[in-house]
Every structure is written in structure tokens, then in C-alpha cells.
Structure 1
């Protein structure tokens, strides 16, 4: 499987800022962007929002405004902007998915039948993961290039 995920710097900065401001609790939300074949371009995010439920070790996206914001932006893009993934923080740990994270991700991808990207913001770094819709495998993505506007991630060669 060949796939790349381009993430705008504004999204990565937004995740960092929102994760820090929500500490000691986790934070999270939707990732919005565009699909071209297997490739994703992440351009926007939601959350966290007031009705979400968060603790230092869990985040539950409960606020209906995530969906409303995504729908409004989808309509504003002439129905081209898509839900391409989710993000959340691990404020006291590393940016690796828990078994709960992986189960949730696989369920989302199984329901949608498309690849989805997932960003976890750890205490000091971000990690990006992709779930393949055919085998429901969770793959780590590696940054292969960056500039001031975006970072490009691809499957590691060992995946």
C-alpha cells in the first residue's frame, strides 16, 4: 500500500496549542481535509469543545459541534472537504496508541471503508498513524519532508 499524508503546519500547531491548554487532561477532535486516491491532505481540525469528556488518560468526543463544524465546512467547500481522521493528546506520555485507541480507529475505518489518519500529541512530540480499510491494520507513518507550511508523512519502509 502506497500512501502519503500531508499535514498543514497550522493543524500541527493547533494540536500542540490545544493539547497544552487542556493539560493535565487529554484533548482531541476531528481532522478535516481532502482525499486524492489513497493520499490525504489534512487542512483543519476541531476541538476540544466544552461538552467533550476528558481526563488525564481518556478523551471522549461528545460535543455535537464537532459534527456541525465539519458539516458546515464540508458544505462551504462544495462538498469536497472530508473527515479524514482524528487527533488526541497523551499529555503525560508518549504518542503511541493504546489498545482502546486502536479498537476505536478500526471501528471508524470499518464503518467508512476508507483510510483514516490519526495524530497523537505526546508530551514532547506528535506521531501519525494510518488505518488501512482492507485489513484494518494500524500503520505508523514517518515524516519524510517538511517546510514552514506542512509536513509530509509516509508509511515506513518496514510497514
Structure 2
């Protein structure tokens, strides 16, 4: 497992495959869902699904919820592990840019929909390689004070440097 030491464990194979998908999508963004389970406040990622965007644009990725649900069900059938479920999402940035206001709003909206921790990863492409950055692993924001904490947790943390 590759670990960010802050609530996220992701397998080396999954990290490598996400980076390859990000590089392969250049000059456009791509993304999808993270699959795994939770152990306390940690998110364990054991798989992912790339969900191609319906509207291919260079500077935006919007997750297709219907396609994501289908990919989740397919992965669950193949995994034969009742712990496996949706634990977050990922998308690529073809340029080395921080998360946009849209990214932050998407992370916040998803985090508010559940009390369970979720992970959000951005695969930042630099030439012919990519690195993974975790922008969020946390619980739902329940109050103004919690929202400030969530905003603090939204800083980029390199997941790995493979």
C-alpha cells in the first residue's frame, strides 16, 4: 500500500493505473470513483473505475453519476467482498494546477452527503508522468466551525512519489 499517512491508503497498482489514465487523457481531464472501505477514520482504496466524461473538455471533469453507480455495482460483483463500496472520487488535471473552486464545491457537497470519510484525489500530469495529490479525506461538515476544519483539510498532500 502507498500511504499519505493522513487517513488514506491506496494500493501501488491502483495509484499507477490512475496516473496512467490521467496521462492517457491529456489534453483533457478524466476521472472516476475510488473503491474500497473505511477503517475508522481512514479510507482504504483497493480499486478505482475510470468514468469517461460525457462532455470532453480540456479544463473540466464532471462525474456521470449513472455511469459511476453502474461501475460500482460491477466492481462489487467482481470483488466478492462486502466491505467494498464508494469511498471517494478522483480526476485529473492535465496541467499542474491546484483544485478549482468547482473542485472544492464538489468535494464539499459530497462530504456533506455522508458522515463517513471520503477521499478525493487529483492526478496532476506533468509531461508524460503524473503524481497523485489528496485534497480531502474527512467527515461531513456539520457546522460553521467544522466547515473551517474541512477547508483546512482541503490542502494538497502528496499521496506518493512513485
Alignment TM class, shorter chain as reference: 0.7 to 0.9
| Comparing 75-84 and 134-143, the one that deviates more | 134-143
* 1:141 CA displacement: 6.0
Give the aligned partner of residue 59 of structure 1: 61
**Structure 1 unaligned blocks of 5 or more:** 149-159
**Structure 2 unaligned blocks of 5 or more:** none
* 1:114 CA displacement: 1.8
- Mapped partners of 1:37, 1:54: distance in 2: 37
100, 103, 108: which is aligned to 1:101? 103
Aligned length: 144
Q: Deviations over 1:25-70 (max 9, x none)?
A: 0010000011111011111111133x53231110112273321121
- Mapped partners of 2:83, 2:71: distance in 1: 14
TM-score, structure 2 length as denominator? Answer: 0.76
* 1:85 CA displacement: 0.7
TM-score, structure 1 length as denominator? Answer: 0.78
More strand per residue: 1
Give the aligned partner of residue 23 of structure 2: 20
105, 114, 117: which is aligned to 1:115? 117
- Equivalent residues of 2:33, 2:51 under 8 A apart: no
- Equivalent residues of 2:133, 2:159 under 8 A apart: no
